[in-house]
Amino acid sequence: MFNLKGKKALVTGASRGIGRGIALSLAKAGASVAVNYHSKVEEAETVVVEVKKLDGDSFSVQADVSNKEQVVKMFEEVKNKFGHLNILVNNAGVVYMNPIDKITEEEWDKVLNINLKGQFFCVQEAIKIMPFGGKIINISSIASGGVGVGFGNIVHYAASKGGVIAMVEDLAIELGPRGINVNAIGPGVIETDMTTVILADEKTKIGMLTRIPKGRFGKAEDIGAAAVFLASDEADYITGTVIYVDGGWLSQ
């Protein structure tokens, strides 16, 4: 079940955290994985080595996903190495915690450009080399709005992740006739370097844990497992939806 052997995948922001977990999960299921990174080349190469140990083909590819020219070059490299692309996982993202009156225009633009526009650019290029049956998976968040979850001090992040879901719903309609499925994963609180600052505060940490029926924070592998499912043939009739991987947070 969930056999991705022979599939070619690209995971953005895959040098660490959730992206790394997704890349390795796809490789364990048999996929070859292109590992995108922005600046952490050594970490990206480490992931490439780990993928190859799982018998998957892999290479690293640098690109700032918010830069159209760099995204075009990245997909040219993917096409040259893989020939085509079956799976795109739009994971690259940033978050800054600031109250609204402290958020600068520069910070707002950076968050929206990477988290939302970057996914748009990657989809634009991916569909040029994605055959019928392709799978696009965009990473959103439980902080995306519309599900009764708000954290405060991340309004730009929340706006970007809400935009991701709106984009997924529209793309599912547009790309469905081309045989391409588009879905999102909405992670809950996942233990990565991105959440280190939040979880360092013991009061905040305990407060969050009380909201999670599973009694633990998520791991990158939990998101990877959901990505493998959505990338598999078993998920062929699922498109335009969001799978929340949050340990039951939204059920509270």
pLDDT in tens, 226-243: 999 999 999 999 999 999
Residue range(s) defining the domain that contains residue 59: 8-245
pLDDT per position as a tens digit, 175-206: 999 999 999 999 998 988 777 766 777 887 88
In a domain, 2, yes or no: no
Q: Is residue 251 part of a domain?
A: no
CA distance 94 to 189: 14
In a domain, 31, yes or no: yes
pLDDT in tens, 105-153: 999 999 999 999 999 999 999 999 999 999 999 999 998 766 656 667 8
Residue 186: the pLDDT is 96
Helical spans, DSSP H, in 113-215: 118-126, 155-175, 196-200, 202-209
Q: pLDDT at position 45, please?
A: 98
The answer, as to whether pTM is greater than 0.85, is yes
Concerning whether 237 is annotated as a catalytic residue, the answer is no
State residue 147's pLDDT score.
Answer: 60
- Helix (H) or strand (E) segment spanning residue 8: strand 8-11
In the prediction, which pLDDT does 206 show? Answer: 86
Q: How far apart are CA 122 and CA 66, in angstroms?
A: 9
Residue 210 belongs to a domain: yes
> Looking at 37, 157, 237, 244, which residue is catalytic?
157
Helix (H) or strand (E) holding 53: helix 41-53
Q: Determine, yes or no, domain membership for 250.
A: no
pLDDT at 76 over 60: yes
What percent of the chain clears pLDDT 70, i.e. is strictly above it?
A: 96
We report the CATH number of the domain holding residue 151 as: 3.40.50.720
Q: 210 vs 145, which has greater pLDDT?
A: 210
Residues 6+ apart with CB under 8 A from 38: 13, 15, 62, 63, 64, 65, 92
pLDDT of residue 196: 74
Residue 73 falls within a domain, yes or no? yes
Q: What is the dihedral of CA 218, 221, 223, 229, to 10 degrees?
A: -140
Per-residue pLDDT at 202: 82
In a domain, 213, yes or no: yes
Counting the structural domains of the chain, the total is: 1
